């Protein structure tokens, strides 16, 4: 045990973080209908700038990567300008902010795609559930399996998005390889049944993630690049036959790349859902040679216990940050916490977004 807690400063890459609270990425569906960040988004993030690190909501790397209405992208000039206003607002408050880069893969719908194209995926496997569209929930469709010749182009889209994130003034980027989206679809065998060099073995299923990371670290120094994984999360109809072995392999491949951090969703992101399988996440923590961010329903006590026991270096908070822009101060003072209103999580205006009270 140690005397480290949430308020112990930490060096993350080139940055001296004042505390170990991370604002987790939270999709809020409050961009414009052109997927451009807007003024209220800058207010929202600046309100939370006392976090040691902010990780933005998932941000599309390309039009093909879009999976939900009113979510921001970072693949054109108008979007970059929108993000510049957000990073400037956060930096003015002394905060640090990373952009989470996202391609949803099969978790889309033709109505969200250019020319009503089919969503793409490692394999043509239709996920259970419904897509969120501008006309309401619609059943997922069977995606189109990506041709091997197309993958380099998607890697290039990640590279271009990383360049845009640099121009937008971010302090770093996080690769979204979790929660059933495209990279996670390649990693887990429930969604990847390819027979080429991107399917089958752990090496092959990890190949796409590593190609994306290698492209991004041509743009960013690796200690300003993080990656998010969710080994057990069944969200978006995901599963794997041996998640502990798979993700142990993945983590070992990350080590030589000297990333800023590994960010792990340690269970299911839906509180009322249990993963089909389980393993002790301290396995991944022990195998990763860099900073480890733990995510998964933490409160102040659980977070401090994990830090003291060296089970994590930082803790990311989602719902608590949604409702408590001054979460650092509230934790420091053991003050009461605001309760989040689920009816305003997704879409809408400033209500339930920028109007949660400060102490």
Closest-CA residue to 230 (of 179, 303, 280): 179
Task: Tell whether 189 is covered by a domain.
Answer: yes
Number of domains in the chain: 1
Closest-CA residue to 315 (of 339, 334, 291, 332): 291
Task: Tell whether 352 is covered by a domain.
Answer: no
- pLDDT band at 267, cuts 50/70/90? confident
pLDDT at site 255? 98
Helix (H, G, I), strand (E, B) or coil at 16: strand
- Which of 45, 158, 181, 202 is labelled catalytic? 181
Contacts of 127 (CB under 8 A, 6+ apart): 106, 107, 140, 180, 191, 236, 237
Strands 15-17 and 21-23: unpaired
Q: Is 181 a catalytic residue?
A: yes
Average pLDDT over residues 99-115: 98
Distance of CA 161 to the CA centre of its chain: 15
Task: Tell whether 2 is covered by a domain.
Answer: no
Average pLDDT over residues 45-57: 98
- Separation CA 334–CA 189 (nearest Å): 44
Contacts of 68 (CB under 8 A, 6+ apart): 27, 29, 104, 112, 132
38 in Cβ contact with 85 (< 8 Å) = no
Q: Alpha helices of the chain — where are they, by DSSP H?
A: 39-47, 77-92, 151-167, 182-187, 202-216, 243-254, 282-287, 300-308, 319-323, 327-332
Distance of CA 229 to the CA centre of its chain: 8
Nearest 5 degrees, angle CA 134-CA 296-CA 106? 35
How many other CB atoms sit within 10 Å of the CB of residue 103?
25
Strands 120-121 and 261-265: unpaired
Average pLDDT over residues 6-13: 98
Taking only the tens place, the pLDDT of each residue in 300-337 is 999 999 999 999 999 999 999 999 999 999 999 999 99
Q: Output the domain CATH number for residue 202.
A: 3.20.20.70
Q: Quote the domain boundaries for residue 23.
A: 10-344
Task: Tell whether 353 is covered by a domain.
Answer: no
pLDDT at site 60? 98
pLDDT at site 276? 63
- Separation CA 197–CA 215 (nearest Å): 18
266 in Cβ contact with 295 (< 8 Å) = yes
* Dihedral over alpha carbons 148, 103, 61, 11 (to 10 degrees): -110
Task: Tell whether 234 is covered by a domain.
Answer: yes
Task: Tell whether 324 is covered by a domain.
Answer: yes
- 167-179 b/e with 16+ CB inside 10 Å = b? ebbbbbbbbbbbb
Task: Tell whether 251 is covered by a domain.
Answer: yes
Average pLDDT, the chain: 96
- pLDDT band at 274, cuts 50/70/90? low
Residue 78 has pLDDT above 60, yes or no: yes
Contacts of 172 (CB under 8 A, 6+ apart): 13, 98, 99, 220, 224, 225, 226, 260
Of 227-241, 262-276, 311-325, the least confident: 262-276
Taking only the tens place, the pLDDT of each residue in 201-223 is 999 999 999 999 999 999 999 99
Residue percentage of the chain with pLDDT more than 70:
97
Task: Tell whether 153 is covered by a domain.
Answer: yes
């Amino acid at each position: 045990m140690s005397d480290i807690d949430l308020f112990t400063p930490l060096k993350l890459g080139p940055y001296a973080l004042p505390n170990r609270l991370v604002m987790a990425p939270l999709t809020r569906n409050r961009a414009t209908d052109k997927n451009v960040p807007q003024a209220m988004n800058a207010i929202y993030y600046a309100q939370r700038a006392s976090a040691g690190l902010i990780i933005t909501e998932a941000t599309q790397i390309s039009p093909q990567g879009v999976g939900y209405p009113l979510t921001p992208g970072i693949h054109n000039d108008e979007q970059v300008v929108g993000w510049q206003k957000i990073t400037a607002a956060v930096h003015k408050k002394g905060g640090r902010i990373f952009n989470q880069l996202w391609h949803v893969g099969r978790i889309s719908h033709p109505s969200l795609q250019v020319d009503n194209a089919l969503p793409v995926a490692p394999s043509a496997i239709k996920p259970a559930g419904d897509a969120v569209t501008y006309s309401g929930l619609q059943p997922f469709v069977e995606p189109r399996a990506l041709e091997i010749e197309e993958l380099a182009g998607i890697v290039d889209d990640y590279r271009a998005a990383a360049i845009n994130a640099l121009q937008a003034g971010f302090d770093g980027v996080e690769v979204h390889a979790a929660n059933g989206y495209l990279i996670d679809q390649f990693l887990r065998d429930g969604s990847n049944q390819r027979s080429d060099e991107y399917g089958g073995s752990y090496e092959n299923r990890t190949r796409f993630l590593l190609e994306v990371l290698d492209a991004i670290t041509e743009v960013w120094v690796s200690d300003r690049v993080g990656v998010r994984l969710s080994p057990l999360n069944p969200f978006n109809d995901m599963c794997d036959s041996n998640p502990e072995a798979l993700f142990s392999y993945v983590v070992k491949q990350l080590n030589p790349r000297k990333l800023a951090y590994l960010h792990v969703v340690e269970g299911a992101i839906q509180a009322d859902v249990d993963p089909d399988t389980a393993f002790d996440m301290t396995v991944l923590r022990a195998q990763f040679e860099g900073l480890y961010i733990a995510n998964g329903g933490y409160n102040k006590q659980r977070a401090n216990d994990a830090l003291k026991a060296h089970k994590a270096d930082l803790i990311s908070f989602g719902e608590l940050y949604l409702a408590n822009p001054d979460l650092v101060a509230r934790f420091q003072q053991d003050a009461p916490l605001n309760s989040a209103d689920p009816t305003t999580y997704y879409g809408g205006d400033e209500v339930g977004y920028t109007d949660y009270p400060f102490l």
